[in-house]
Amino acid sequence: MKLDRRNFLIAASTATMATRIKAEVIKESIQKHGLADAFVGDYHVGAAVSTDTILSEDKPTLKLLEREFSSITAENCQKWEEVHPSEDSWNWSASDKFVDFGEQNNKHILGHALVWHSQIPSSVFQDKAGDTVSASVLRRRMENHIGTLVGRYKGRVHTWDVVNEAVSDDGYDDWRPSAWFQILGNRYMEEAFNLARQADPNAELLYNDYNMHYPQKREFLVGVFKDYLDRGVPLDGVGFQAHYMLDDPELEQIEKSIDAYSALGLPIHITELDVDVLPKAFEYMGAEISTNFEYSDKLNPYPTELPDILQEKLASRYEKLFGLFSKHQDRIKRVTLWGVSDADSWKNNWPVRGRTNYPLLFDRQLNPKLAYTRLMNLKR
Ligand code: G3I
């Protein structure tokens, strides 16, 4: 009897030891791996990579990128003004390093952005005399840009933001009156998608825009995309930039747009997620909306650190957003944060230059914030 009891106790302690070891292995694995591994069953979790990070070979940031994210997006280095600063000159150094880093670390690589009205040399739309070019000249320039850039990374860049922000901010229910639209009409967008498909038949091609939760924008774009899909325009998915505030937009509006675009059979990419924790500039500017919001201390209330109460609000907001994304993980292919750490964020300078913002998951010392921990706990 004693012997059986002894064997039982040995067996029980061995089993307990095994369970404890397994728990340790899982815990150690999550510690060694990061956010993307926690969400691996749902969608890619990515980050935008600044040109400085790439060119300076910022080891701490690159190491964090490698551990925490499964997808990377070129924040600026593949934009027209950076990669193709004039008709006959290309600047490949940062873009090549970005793609090399992605390949060496087995990342899903996003190219951004082929056709946009911003960060593009005005010379693209002008002749040598400074007059507006003809449609045929601009069409040829777009063909050369997309063919060269997408062609260079054929089979290496998996997904491209082909057209960025083509919808007007005046009513959100028509085409943006950009130089692209004014010279080529609204066909410029489908021509860009066709050119990208020709340059790399296997790349995933996205339309990307902000405020994709706006009902008017949703209705306008659903109409455009339905027509594209009927005519075989090679649109493969929709990018929600998702530059959000702590309490805006409501999850319900985001969900309505996830439903509407998914109903067309188009996968959703959350392409530029960040959560602005600072006061809205226009609330302080009253009715007078200026194009450059002047800096004021009132608009920069946390210059040295974010109070705990706001860390908690930010964490809760990220928890709810990722909860919504995971609820629709069958329709959402990727969630990309628009930067690695708070230090990188464009929100430190827009819409007010020189503020200290805290919109991302890692702080200025590259430490995970409360929001990061809450997201990891969603998957524990
Ligand atoms: O490279 C120059 C540098 O040489 C110069 O010294 C410096 C002086 O200010 O400017 C640098 O260029 C800046 C560029 O980022 C690269 O850092 C521009 O001023 C600055 O305006 C530009 O901001 C970018 C912004 O797009 C431009 O609209 C942000 O980094 C970038 O995060 C942001 O990203 C866009 C997406 O591509 C599309 N969706 C909206 C999102 C926010 O605008």
User: How many angstroms separate the CA atoms of 273 and 337, rounded?
Assistant: 5
CB–CB of 235/193 below 8 Å?
A: yes
Q: What is the dihedral of CA 118, 144, 221, 184, to 10 degrees?
A: 90
Beta strands in 25-69 (DSSP E): 44-49
Instruction: Check pocket membership of 357 for ligand 1, CB cut-off 6 A.
Output: no
- Residue position matching structure tokens 């006959």: 88
pLDDT tens digits, one per residue of 282-336: 754 333 333 457 888 999 999 999 999 999 999 999 999 999 999 999 999 999 9
Token code pair at residue 53:
């990070």
**d(CA 4, ligand 1 centre) in Å:** 72
Q: How far is CA 194 from CA 111, 191, 333, in A?
A: 16, 5, 22
What CA–CA distance (Å, rounded) separates 206 from 212? 14
Integer Cα distance of 272 and 274 in angstroms: 7
Q: How far is the CA of 79 from the centre of ligand 1 (A)?
A: 10
Q: Is the CB of 272 under 6 A from ligand 1?
A: yes
The mean-pLDDT minimum among 5-9, 73-77, 143-147, 232-236 falls in: 5-9
Beta bridge partners of 74: 49
pTM above 0.85, yes or no: yes
CB–CB of 370/311 below 8 Å?
Answer: yes
**Ligand 1 mean position to 350 CA, how many Å?**
10
Catalytic residue annotation: 165, 272
Q: At residue 104, does pLDDT exceed 70? A: yes
Closest-CA residue, ligand 1 atom 29, reads: 346
- In one-letter notation, the amino acid at residue 344 is D
Q: Is 119 in the pocket of ligand 1 (CB under 6 A)?
A: yes
Rounded distance from Cα 75 to ligand 1 centre (Å): 8
Kindly state the tokens that stand for 56. 């300076």
Percent of the chain topping pLDDT 90? 84
pLDDT over 70, % of the chain: 89
Quick one: pLDDT at residue 287?
A: 32
In this model, does residue 248 exceed pLDDT 60? yes
> Measured from the CA of 339, which atom of ligand 1 is nearest?
32
> Closest residue (by CA) to atom 37 of ligand 1?
75
Average pLDDT over residues 1-20: 66
In this prediction, residue 3 carries a pLDDT of 54
Residue of minimum CA distance from atom 23 in ligand 1: 346
Task: Report whether residue 344 contacts ligand 1, using a CB cutoff of 6 Å.
Answer: no
Measured from the CB, is residue 13 less than 6 Å from ligand 1? no
Rounded average pLDDT over 116-121: 96
Q: What is the pLDDT of residues 265-296, one digit of tens each?
A: 999 999 999 999 999 887 543 333 334 578 88
Q: Which two tokens stand for residue 259?
A: 């439903």
Q: Which domains does the chain have, with CATH numbers?
A: 32-378 (3.20.20.80)
Per-residue confidence band for 182, with pLDDT thresholds at 50, 70 and 90? very high
CA of 50 to the centre of ligand 1 (A): 9
Q: Is 56 in the pocket of ligand 1 (CB under 6 A)?
A: no
The verdict on whether omega for the bond into residue 201 sits within 30 degrees of 0, i.e. cis, is: no
Ligand 1 contact, 349 CB (< 6 A) = no
Q: Is the pLDDT of residue 130 over 80?
A: yes
Q: Could you give the angle at which helices 215-231 and 251-262 cross, rounded to 10 degrees?
A: 10
pLDDT digits (tens, 9 = 90+) for 19-55: 666 556 555 544 557 999 999 989 999 999 999 999 9
Alpha-helical (H) ranges within 263-336 are 281-285, 308-327
Instruction: Return the exposure string of 112-147: e unless at least 16 CB atoms fall within 10 Å of the residue's CB, then b.
Output: bbbbbbeebeeebbeeeeeeebeeeebbebbbebbe
78 φ, ψ (degrees, to nearest 5): -110, 10
Residue 1 pLDDT class (50, 70, 90 cuts): very low
For residue 290, the model assigns a pLDDT of: 37
**Cα separations (Å) of 304 from 140, 264, 300, 355?**
50, 46, 10, 10
Q: What's the confidence (pLDDT) of residue 315?
A: 98
Mutate to test the pocket of ligand 1, among 53, 75, 93 (most ligand atoms within 8 A of CB): 75
Q: What's the mean per-residue pLDDT of the chain?
A: 92
Q: For residue 276, list its beta bridge partners.
A: 245
- Which pLDDT value is given to residue 351? 87
CB–CB of 138/145 below 8 Å?
A: no
Task: Give the phi and the psi of residue 132 in degrees, each rounded to 5.
Answer: -65, 135
Instruction: Give, using CA atoms, the residue closest to atom 25 of ligand 1.
Output: 346
Each residue's pLDDT tens digit, 337-375: 999 999 999 999 988 899 999 999 999 999 999 999 999
Specify the 3-state DSSP secondary structure of 341. Answer: strand
Alpha-carbon separation of residue 122 from 133, 259, 287, 354 (angstroms): 11, 38, 32, 27
Q: Which stretch of 5-14, 145-154, 337-346, 368-377 has the lowest confidence by average pLDDT? A: 5-14
Q: Which phi and psi (to 5°) does residue 206 adopt?
A: -115, 150
Assess whether the C-beta atom of 75 lies below 6 angstroms from ligand 1: yes
Q: Which of 154, 151, 148, 156 is nearest to 101 (CA)?
A: 156
pLDDT at 223 over 90: yes
